[in-house]
Every structure is written in C-alpha cells, then in structure tokens.
Amino acid sequence: MIPKNLTAASTKLIILGILRQGNSYGYLIIKKIKELSGGKMKYSDGMLYPVLHNLEKEGLIQSEWVMQDDARPRKYYAITENGKKELVAEREHWVHVNSVLEAIWQLKPTK
Amino acid sequence: MFDLEKEIKQWLKSFRKHRAFDHGSVREMELHLRDHIEDLMASGHSEQEAFKLAVAEFGDINSMAGEEFLNLKRKTTWRSVIHAAMVKNYYFTAIRHFLRHRNYFLINLSGLTIGMACFIMISLYVVNELSYDRFHSNVNNIYRVNTKFTNPNGAGDRAVSHSPLARTMLNTYPEVESATRVLRIGTLRIGTIDSGREHYSEDGILYTDSSFFDVFDFKLVKGDPKTALVKPASLVLTETYAKKYFGDEDPIGKQIAVEDDNRFFYVVTGVVADVPANSHIQFDMLISLSTSELWNDDRWIASSGVHTYLELRRDADAKALEKKMQDVVYKYLGPEIEHYSGLTMAQWEKAGGYTGYYLIALKNIHLYSTSTEELEPGGRISYLVIYALVALIILFIAIFNFVNMATAQSALRAKEVGVRKVVGSTRGGLVFQFLLESVIVSLLAAIVAGILVTLLSPMFTGLLGKQLAFGIASHYVGLLSLLTLAVVVGLLAGAYPAFVLSAILPIDVLKGTLHKGTRAGWVRNFLVVAQFTASMVIIIGTMVVYQQLDFMLTRNLGFNKDNILVIQRPDVLKEGQETFKNGLLANPNISVVAHSNTLPGKAYPERSYRPKDHDESFVFKFNHVSHTFRDVMGLEMVTGRFFSKEHRLDSNAVVINEAAAKAFGFENPIGQQLTSPWHQGEFLTIIGVVKDFNFESLHKPIAPIAMELMPENSNQGGFITVRIGSDENMRKTVQYIESTWARHSNGKLFEAFFFDNDYEKLYQSEIATGKVLVVFASLSIFIACLGLVALLAYTVALRKKEIGVRKILGAGMGSLVNLLSADVAKLITIAALVAWPLAYLGTRYWLQNFVDQIEIKAWLYLSATGVVVLICGVAVSFQVVKAAMENPVHSLRQE
C-alpha cells in the first residue's frame, strides 16, 4: 500500500494526467486511478472532490454540467491550457525526483 | 425494508450541514454515489450492500468538508466575490434604491452628515490641542526649566526661571546643545519714523536670545536666523506685523521707535512667518534680549523671570540632567539666598525655604503644565477627554440611526435579496453589496460634512474662543482622514444591516413569510435606547456644567466682579495717584475707586502673623488694600468693620477672612492683637472678618488671607479698581477715565481691562466647555430625534392598513395615538432609567475638579428627561397624529 502523503502529493499530477486523455467526471476519474494503480493507491472517494474543486479554482481545469436525455447529468472536468503547462512542469519535477531515486538505487554501500 | 432513496437523502443531509458545500457540489456527490452503487449492484451486490460499500469508500465527510472549506477560504478572495460588472450593478441598485425612498434616504444622509460634521469639528479641535508645539523638528529634545519654590513670600510653581540660568546650563552641562530665553514684559508703545507721534500699543512682544531660532523652528522669511537677534535693539516682525507697519515695503533695516526706551531706534532685522496657532509661544514681534544689560548681568534672584528653553543632545538623559542641575541652585543661587535672607543655606532650608528647578517637555507644556506665568493659557487634558467622548457619542448616535433605518427597511430589500440569491449570489457578495451601499451614503455624508465644517469653523472657533492651526482641507492628511472616516463609518453603519439583509432566506421571501419590519426588532430597540441614553447623559452633563459654572463665576465668588475697570501700573502716576482718583470720582457714573496690591485671581504674596502671647506663627496670603476696596469688590463683613478713613489707627489694623479666623482659632477675633515681622514689634489689631471669598483659583479651597491698609499716598504698583455705576454710558465712562489718566500720567500708556473679562479668562476652558457642550448636546438630541422620526414614519407606513381597519372598526384618535407611541414611550423610559445613574457618575467625576460643588438635585434629572421627552413628543406626535387622522379610505382602497 502506498503511504497517504505520497498519494496526496501525486494526486494533482494524476488527475491532470487523466484529464489530458479526455474530459471526464468525478466517478470515472477515481475509477481510472484505482484501475491504473491496481488498487495500490487507496483513496477515500470523497477526498477527490476537494482536489478537483481546488484545481478548478486555480484555473488548471474547468468544469461543465452535461445533461443527457438518457443518462444522469454529469459534471465534466476538462484540462485547460494552463493545466497542460502545469502538467509538463509537474512531470519534470517528478522525472527529476525519479532520476535522483534511480541514482540512489545505483549506489553501493561503501565499507 | 431498505429504502435506497431515503438512505441517500439521509447521507446527503450530512453534507448540507457543512457550509463548504454548495448545491452543485452536493449534487455532484449524489451522482457519484449513485454511479458507484449502480456499478456495485451490477457486479452482484444487493442494494443495501452496494450502498454501504459505496458510502464506506467515499470516506469521512467531515474531513472532506474540512478540505473543501480550505478551498472555500482560498476562494473567497476579493476577486471571486466582487466582479467588476457586479460592482456596477450594486452601485446602480444603490442609487435606484436611494431615489425610490428619497425621504428616508435624505433623513439618513442628513443625520449622518450632522453627526460626522460634529465629529470632525471636535476632532479637529482635539487634534489641534494635541499637536501643540509639535511642529518644531527637535520637539522631543526641547525642555523648559520651571521653578518650584517655597519662601516667606509664598510657595509656587513658576514657568519662569532665573535669567543667568540658560547661560549657566549651556556652559556647565555638555548635554545642553543650545539654550534660549524668552521674556515677556507686557505692552509697549511702538511707532515708526513715518508715523510721527502716532504709536501703537503692542502686547505681542517677546524678548529673546539670538539662539531662539536654533532651538525653535519659527521660520525666518527674511533675514539671517543666526544674526537677526544678536545686536541690541534688533527687532523681528511677523509677516502680518511687517505688513501692518511697512505695507509692501521691504521692512529690513527700517527703524522703529519704542516709547519707553528713547536711547535709540530699534532696527528690523528679520521677518518671521506668522506663528502657528498651535504654538504655546505666541508673538507678533521679537526683540533681542541683548537690548538691556539688566537682562544679561549675573544677578539671579533680582533678575526678571524669563522662560528658559533648553535643547538637549539627542542622546541626553533629561531625568539625569534634572537631578544634576540642582547643583546650580547651591552654587549660584545659594550665595544670593544667604545674602538676601541673612541665613546660611542650611538654616534657610531648615526654615522651610526651597528652590528647585525641573524640566517640562516642550510637547507637554500646553496640556499638562501646572505652572503660573505661562506665556499663554494652557489647555487641559481632562477636557479633551470629555470632548473626545462627546464626539464619539454623537457619531455613534448618527451611526445607530443609519443601522436602525436600514434594518427596519429590510423588508424593502427582501425581494431583491431573494432573487439575487436564487440566481446565484453568494452571501459574501450580498454583504459586499450592502456595505458598498452604506459606504456610498457615508462618503456623500462626509463630503457634505467636510463642506459644512469648513463653512462653520469660524462659528466653532468663536465658541471655543481660540483659533485652530489647521482645518480639514489645509493638509492632504486632513482629506485622507476624512476619506478614512467615511469608509470606517460606512462599514460600521453597514455591517449589521448587511449581516441581517444577507441572511434573508429566499424561501421566506417567496412564501411571503418574512415578517415585515419586525426582524431584529430588539437590536433596533436596543440602539434607540442607547441613543437616547447618550443624549440624556449629555444633556444632564451640560446642565450640571452650566450650573457649576454659574455657581462658581457669580454666586459663590464672594465678590462682585462685574462693572469693574482695572487700571494697571498706577505707579507710573508717581505722586499723582490721589488726585487721579479724585479726578475719577468727579464722574457721576463712577461710584468708588480703590487701590490694591493684587486682585482676586492673581498671585498673592504671603505674610506671617503671630497672635500676642502665642508662640505659633501663621502664614497667610496677603493684600494691601485701600479703605474703599471692600466697596469696589462688594465684600461682605461677618463681624467688625473694614478699614475706614475716620480711624487714624487703621494703619496698624488687619482685616482677615473667615478661614484665617478659623486658623487662628479665635472665638472672637475682633480686637485680638498680632505681631508680624513686617511691623517690627508693633502690634496689629484685628478689626474685622470678611466672609470668605474666592481670591485665588476656584479649583483650590479658600485659603486664609490677611489685608492691611495701603498707606495713603503710596505710589505702590498693583491695581486701581474703578466701580462703574451702570452699563449705559460704559463707553463714555471709560473714555473719561482714559482722558483723566492722560492728564495725570504725563502721557504714559493707559493699560486697563474689565475685571470680569480678565477673571473669566482664568476659566476659559470651563466656559468654552460649557458652551461647546450646549451646542453639541442639542445636536445630539436632534440627530437622535431625526432617527426616531424616520423610524416611526416607516412603521406607521407599514401599519397603514392596520390603522385604517382599526379606524373603521371604531378606534378613536386617542387609542390610535396611544397604539403608535406606546413603544416609543417605553423605550424612552428605559433610556431615562439607564441615563440617570450614568449621568450621576459622570458628573460626580467632573465635579471633583472643583472645591465648591453644586448639589445635583433631582429636578435636574427630571427636567433633562422632560426636555428629551418633550422634544421626542413633538417630533413623534406629528407623525402619529397625521397617521391617526388619515382617512382610512386612502389606505384601504389599494386592493
């Protein structure tokens, strides 16, 4: 199980990443995350929404209610241009962290 | 049976508890849950299981609400509440609302305007008083040396010190950066070469050292501050006076003649900017102190008292210097004290003699000085506190008016609020809207108030009896504070109405269940009570102040100060005093003329007396008086008689007052014999006791005093007092006195004043406070009534139909008036009950300033309350009667 704080730190990136694929709504997003992490990332579903609303407030995503005749109305979220930029930046950070970690795995214990 | 819909509803309720979720979010959660349940059921769970699992996976709602709330907080920034487009909308809504309810708006506006105008005026005065002497850049390092002394001639605290002190301080203590002296000697007759024999009497003259401009920041417009006052007979004029004497000519180098000094012409060496009104040093011209050697020799005790100002170095410790400088007393004053008293310093001190210096900070001189011989009469910090309180009270009365009207009218705005909420306005947005509205009103009020203050300030300064150094528009800070005041008042006045109005629920509006005009009724009642309590306290306070002043300045004086002309410096008449006095008496309008060394309200010397066969001496205040003094002053005898021409032995007689008789402990003081060091062994006989009169400050208890007969034909100084018969012909009589003086004085300057004017100057703060209080007390009650009338007019309008129906059903005029005014009467009664103890405590506190206090009688409270009730009654009855008289057809026809 992945620790909580690590989950929290990566949520923003994960959501932006998922939305880059295409617009989606809350329930689908969380389903997708669970799928991708193979259940390793444990969320309480509810905690997703404050993050979504915060991202929207920061202008990284935007939302829209979509009414359909045959299904429930859904609040769809879409990534904005700013969001895309942010994603690139975030990604770089993570790549950077990753490369540091990689380097650390290579280190041999010195005697 | 498991009911999914019901469970979901229940679950959603826990969201609604949290303000963080708006309607949209809750809907979003609901859909999430439904999607999840659907999926779970599809994978084979029962409805109930699916619900439980979905809720469990959704997690804790509280912690989620916490997160969301953080979002919300981050979200409620200015920008999200206030959209530019909305501000415009708010603005126009406000204007439209004002125009639609023009009358209420105008009442609101005028109340607020008057309140603010009062507040601004009083604040201007208070700030002015607090700003005294602070325009000097070194104000924090400048001190004046005051003298405290006790000696056989009396004890005192003088604003002046010995003339060589400034020089000595500068040379002895390195802490002293520079020192300057200021000497005021009264009136001089001054003329220019061109004016020939025409002379002006000038009393705004100060003699100063050349270092005057080093210590103080008075700005020299022309001339060199370093050298202007160095040479003897140098003279610096203020701009106004330069104009007065020389018009548009360049005054530098011009000559000026001073009558009492015909050694040489004085030369104008500089022009100084007019002295700001908030300076305790006021002058029209400065003359160099080097002009007379008398002021610059090494004599200490025999020197004229000068005001000594020291500018200390930035790092100097004034307290330490104050301690150190007592050495000066022993080193320089000591030998002179020994010389004059014939005692050694130790003996002198043992006998109770004392002289010491202390420093008073320049910025404290105006408000805190307790010394005599100040350059200008000072202010009093305790009165400033009263002023500030009154200003705040009036402002709040006006603010409460606004709050009351705005909340009472909430029904008018209810529909708007409901609609705004339905189309998505947040509470923050509504709060902002109503705050904006009240700020607009208060800005308008502030602008009008600012104009009013500027227009009315001459009246206000007339009331105060003094000039202000600056007005509201004389500096950008003034305008800035006006703006701040407007915004603060707007926010204060708008906060509660905004809170009430924004809380209106759309559902109530739409259902029509909103109670018109009754919402928050108790707050409104509370505010009305507060207003009238404050008004009543101010009114009672004013009445007490007035009574006390009247008591002090007329009834309790013990002498009659009216219609007395006082002539100064009779010593210049030399031997001609008696003929001058007789010359005056030739005028039928002059009843008595007296001569005395000093007068009530002035300084008194002291003499010690020892009753025969006692070994205890008594030190009393002392006055030399002529035998007519009692008639001029209107003193009352308790026993015995006053000095009289018929008794030749009166040169060895004493008249004392009751306090002195009490101090002696004589049962029958008449005929008792005393000795006094001034009469070397001769016995003095007490011939009379006068009723105690207030010969010193009214703030002090009446001290014992002894009076002796002024030797005939003495050419002592002091004062000649002339009692003038009647107010008519006053001008003529004074002219007569002046011309008589001119005949006998060899053309010496005639210096005279009316005793009552001069005496009342001592109590200028009290008298001004009294007048100011009267004006503002009336304004406060006016504003409060304005609010009450508006409130009543509004409720009457709301109850129009009710009144109509009642009338149709047979209600009489009386019962209708009763119905409408019962509430008001109740509120005013409560206000009176609250106001009485408050006023009692407040006035008691103020009266502690005085020794002889009036008794506060019950009728005073009753009449103050009566006044308020009467004014309210008049204001209210108009509305009520109008409503009761109205034809019910008009109010009922509408539907």
For residues B513 and B254, the model is more confident at B254
Does A54 fall in a domain? yes
B102 burial level (CB within 10 Å; 0-12, 13-18, 19+): exposed
More confident position, B523 or B453 = B453
Which pLDDT value is given to residue B376? 82
From the list B32, B39, B67, which residue is nearest A50 (CB)? B67
> Which of B57, B61, B74 to probe by mutation at the A interface, max A CB count within 10 Å?
B57
Shortest CA distance from A31: residue in chain B: B36
- Letter for the amino acid at B329? V
> In one letter, which amino acid is B168?
T
Task: For residue A49, give the nearest of B29, B70, B75 by CB distance.
Answer: B29
Q: Which of B130-139, B287-296, B584-593, B849-858 has the lowest mean pLDDT?
A: B849-858
* Angle subtended by helix axes B410-422 and B84-100, to nearest 10: 150
CB distance B703 to B696 below 8 Å: yes
Read off the pLDDT band of B153 (50, 70, 90): low
Q: Establish if A67 touches chain B: CB-CB under 8 angstroms.
A: no
Residue B241's nearest CA partner among B229, B254, B232 is B254
In this complex, do B28 and A72 lie within 8 Å of one another by their Cβ atoms? no
Give me the residue from B35, B59, B67 closest to A27, CB to CB: B35
Instruction: Kindly state whether residue A16 falls inside one of the protein's structural domains.
Output: yes
Query: Is there a contact between B418 and B509 (Cβ–Cβ < 8 Å)?
Result: yes
Number of structural domains chain A divides into: 1
Whether pLDDT at B17 is above 80? no
**Average pLDDT over chain B, rounded to whole?**
85
For position A85, which CATH number holds?
1.10.10.10
CA distance B235 to B268: 5
Tell me whether B28 touches chain A (CB under 8 Å). yes
Buried (b) or exposed (e) across B824-863, using 16+ Cβ within 10 A? Answer: beebbebbbebbbeebeebbeebbeebeebbebeeebbee
Q: Assess if residue A85 is contained within a domain.
A: yes
Q: Is the pLDDT of residue B188 over 70?
A: yes
Give domain status of residue A111, yes or no. Answer: no
Residue from the list A43, A45, A50 with its beta carbon closest to the beta carbon of B71: A50
Name which of B60-69, B94-103, B226-235 the model is least confident about.
B60-69
Whether residue A48 is contained in a domain is answered as: yes
Range of the domain at A44: 4-106
Alpha-carbon span B854 to B851, nearest angstrom: 10
Q: Is B89 helix (H, G, I), strand (E, B) or coil?
A: helix
0.90 surpassed by pTM: no
For chain B, positions 67-86, list CB contacts with chain A under 8 A: 67-68, 70-71, 74-75
Q: Best interface-test mutation with B: which of A27, A55, A77 has the largest number of B CBs within 10 A? A: A27
Residue B58 sits at the chain A interface (C-beta within 8 Å): yes
Question: Is A98 touching B (CB cutoff 8 A)?
Answer: no
ipTM score: 0.85
pLDDT band at A37 (very low <50, low <70, confident <90, very high): confident
Q: What is the pLDDT of residues A94-111, one digit of tens each?
A: 899 889 998 888 887 776
Q: What percent of chain B has pLDDT over 70?
A: 95
In a domain, A71, yes or no: yes
A46:B29 CB<8 A: yes
B502/chain A closest Cα distance in angstroms:
24
Residue A82 forms part of a structural domain: yes
- Residues B436 and B430: their CA atoms lie apart, in Å, by 10
C-beta pairs of B419-422 under 8 Å, 24+ apart in sequence: B419/B506, B421/B504, B421/B505, B421/B506, B422/B506
Residues of A in contact with B42 (CB under 8 A): none
Name the minimum distance, in Å, from the CA of A11 to any CA of chain B: 14
Q: Which residues of A touch B67 (CB under 8 A)?
A: 47, 50-51
Q: How far apart are CA B233 and CA B265, in angstroms?
A: 7
A100 is a domain residue: yes
Cβ–Cβ pairs < 8 A, chains A and B: 60
Over range B328-335, report the average pLDDT.
89
- Mean pLDDT score, B462-481: 84
> Which residues of B fall within a CB distance of 8 Å from A73?
31
Residue B75 is predicted with a pLDDT of 52
CB nearest B59 (choices: A45, A51, A72): A45
CB-based contact, B63 to chain A, within 8 Å:
yes
- Mutant choice from A47, A51, A56, A66 vs B, greatest count of B C-beta within 10 A: A47
pLDDT-derived band at B137, boundaries 50, 70, 90: very high
Contact A53 B32 (CB under 8 A): no
The closest of B117, B768, B759, B761 to B386, measured between CA atoms, is: B768
